[in-house]
Structure 1
């Protein structure tokens, strides 16, 4: 099968996850499962990716515009009226039927941002009632409430039991938080928040990267699923798109070199990122450069297809060979919703689930690679334009 045909099949199958694994209950309408094994629990991040997928489904002819708009409107009404929140920030994991807290989950700033980006894309595409609902939900978010004023950074999390903890004090997937915060029409954050987190630099195979703590690929991908960094830089001249290219190449080189130690890893099977594993979900799979002098990342031979696919806009040629390998040589990875979450040949293990955020980054990055649609919708938003301007980003012609 040709590469474009595999991409089309994977993108459509990923879309089917978001369309089919969605609640149709009165109070929880539009809530999307976190993964296919935990049957009654949704994640607000999964909903954010699912809302972003709706315009793709319409433009690709998989659903009608009417049904897509109806899904967007009813989902946003659930979030406005029923899904549990505090100061406008939503609880990370929620019951799919009632929209109430599950797992003693935190009130999450990053997952609220992922949800808001999905709402913004849907609002830009459908307009009308979708746009009005998004404006109300977005305007309700009290961004400064989640800021540690003494350290000038967002707290890492908040729960009812322990209050605030930690801090987003180094680079990771959170740039969308600063853009949304700076652009808020009601409760904006100061632009200095964006410039306060550490930009630690490290090198692997002569590739210098502003690296995240564990070097997990999703941290270089998530904000890029919506914001088109190809032609913009911040006031310090940082090119985040180039940085993600280098991080993707470092991950590929590292996996290629580790082929001597793990059967699953080689130049056509790579992309270390947070995913399912033989020992349960792991958020620390990654590659150098990483923190603590390149020792913060973890590796056990587990590889998720979403790792490479999420970097298709950064290193398309390498991803093409990788996707062909998965599809042609690891048929056990295929499921109703496209590639399963991960596999590990050394442990004779293949995941029995798909995970919403992994299907989401796959779908959005494939679409950006094919058409740029998500980037165009996001960058056309006045909120995003204003947020980037307030943060001091400039376009190529201004450099």
Structure 2
């Protein structure tokens, strides 16, 4: 890998500090060191946001403008996989593009052109009762089966896309004629998702439906995981809403979701055992639904969602400090576990039995709002001590010092939350946009949420 990281960091550092060697000598030593440290940290945040944004900008599939499912810098791919685009990752990606505007990486007009391409493409792509599939073939817009029976609508991936698009609509809603047309086109996509149809007439939302296999995937979504945003959007829909009973009985398991436990001295707040043998889940559960949904001050009768996510990230940190399996490298500068690549292919990493000795950088970096000091330790380690783990689109997906393993590969769903959650930490941009949506406000109120 080209050693490009240090020059970029130092140039950004010098320019952002705004003083030369001549006047810096007049500053008090402690003050100068403190300002240098703050400036270095800001420069690193700018750099990682820029690089991960580029995954969704320069790295996008050209016909759709959407995010490729994966980008492998070693050019080793599964068969016919280079042009597969991902719905959820692209939902994260449109939010990353908004970050790009605000941070000056691109102009508002450049972003508008890309958003127009994406929205037009989505309007023509395969949909199933309003829901897009997990994967699309980029050049054609036709469904690319995620697995044999997963060849139809994916309501969770659709929710991630809609979350991003609603933030885009809020950003442009008071703009010029072309921008307002984009907002209208997004509203049309939003209103045609048949959330209520995906209940099968029962008190729960189902993840999948296939025109060839019907409901055979049989995945009712309940108990805490990454899917809170799906229920919030389903309740918020102006055209195909679900009732609060579906949230309470399906998602919240008639209240059983609130059966928490204590792990590493902290309450898990909600019940993670529904999907795990261990008391806590992978950290993407603290990210995907909260790219737009602001957990600060967000409460319902089951949880305080800020406490939930802060505790979730902090438990991961404490687990790494404890390092019960004695994995090499774990500690205050290397922590955070989530679903990512591993030595054994894609795997779901989290504290406990699923800990394979793999660190996934997105886990800590996307947790900046919850654990800013601890996440900054990881960012500094990656860029200042282990830059071989960083490439064109930011930190590589995963690595293991125990196994002396990493690959120069990226996944959209792991790169996407990094610039978005860092921006929420820095300015609250995406939280502020998404939470302004009038439909979302009504949906949250209907479900009994207190909001920021």
Please give the TM-score of this superposition, normalised by the length of structure 1. 0.91
CA distance in 1, matches of 2:317, 2:211: 41
The residue aligned with 1:118 is 164
* 1:153 aligns to 2:204 (yes or no): yes
Aligned counterpart in structure 1 of residue 315 of structure 2, from 239, 246, 250 = 250
Aligned counterpart in structure 2 of residue 72 of structure 1, from 107, 115, 135 = 115
Aligned counterpart in structure 1 of residue 54 of structure 2, from 16, 20, 27 = 16
The residue aligned with 1:90 is 132
Q: What SS does the aligned partner of 2:359 have?
A: coil
Q: What SS does the aligned partner of 2:261 have?
A: strand
C-alpha contact 1:263 1:346 (8 A) present in aligned 2:
yes
The residue aligned with 1:205 is 264
C-alpha contact 2:126 2:142 (8 A) present in aligned 1:
yes
Q: What SS does the aligned partner of 1:233 have?
A: coil
Aligned counterpart in structure 2 of residue 143 of structure 1, from 189, 195, 198 = 195
The residue aligned with 1:39 is 82
The residue aligned with 2:142 is 100
For structure 2, the 5+ residue unaligned runs are 1-8, 10-39, 73-80, 174-179
Q: How many pairs align?
A: 381
C-alpha contact 1:259 1:265 (8 A) present in aligned 2:
no
CA distance in 2, matches of 1:132, 1:58: 21
Shift of residue 193 of structure 1? 2.0
Shift of residue 123 of structure 1? 0.9
The residue aligned with 1:177 is 230
CA distance in 2, matches of 1:135, 1:387: 16
C-alpha contact 2:391 2:408 (8 A) present in aligned 1:
no
C-alpha contact 1:277 1:351 (8 A) present in aligned 2:
no
* Greater shift in the superposed pair: 221-230 or 108-117: 221-230
C-alpha contact 2:170 2:433 (8 A) present in aligned 1:
yes
Q: What SS does the aligned partner of 2:209 have?
A: strand
Aligned counterpart in structure 1 of residue 91 of structure 2, from 32, 37, 48 = 48
Shift of residue 260 of structure 1? 5.5
CA distance in 1, matches of 2:271, 2:44: 31
Report Cα offsets for 1:291-346 as digits up to 9, x if no partner.
xxxxxx51110111100011110111111112111222222111001111010012
The residue aligned with 1:299 is 355
Please give the TM-score of this superposition, normalised by the length of structure 2. 0.81
* 1:130 aligns to 2:182 (yes or no): yes
Report Cα offsets for 1:95-124 as digits up to 9, x if no partner.
110111113553211100001111111111
RMSD (Å), alpha carbons: 1.6
CA distance in 2, matches of 1:159, 1:299: 34
* 1:192 aligns to 2:245 (yes or no): yes
Shift of residue 237 of structure 1? 5.7
Q: What SS does the aligned partner of 1:262 have?
A: coil
Q: What SS does the aligned partner of 2:119 have?
A: helix
CA distance in 1, matches of 2:58, 2:235: 35
C-alpha contact 1:32 1:96 (8 A) present in aligned 2:
no
C-alpha contact 1:225 1:365 (8 A) present in aligned 2:
yes
The residue aligned with 1:109 is 155
The residue aligned with 1:228 is 294
Shift of residue 211 of structure 1? 4.0
Report Cα offsets for 1:263-293 as digits up to 9, x if no partner.
03222211110011111111x21126xxxxx
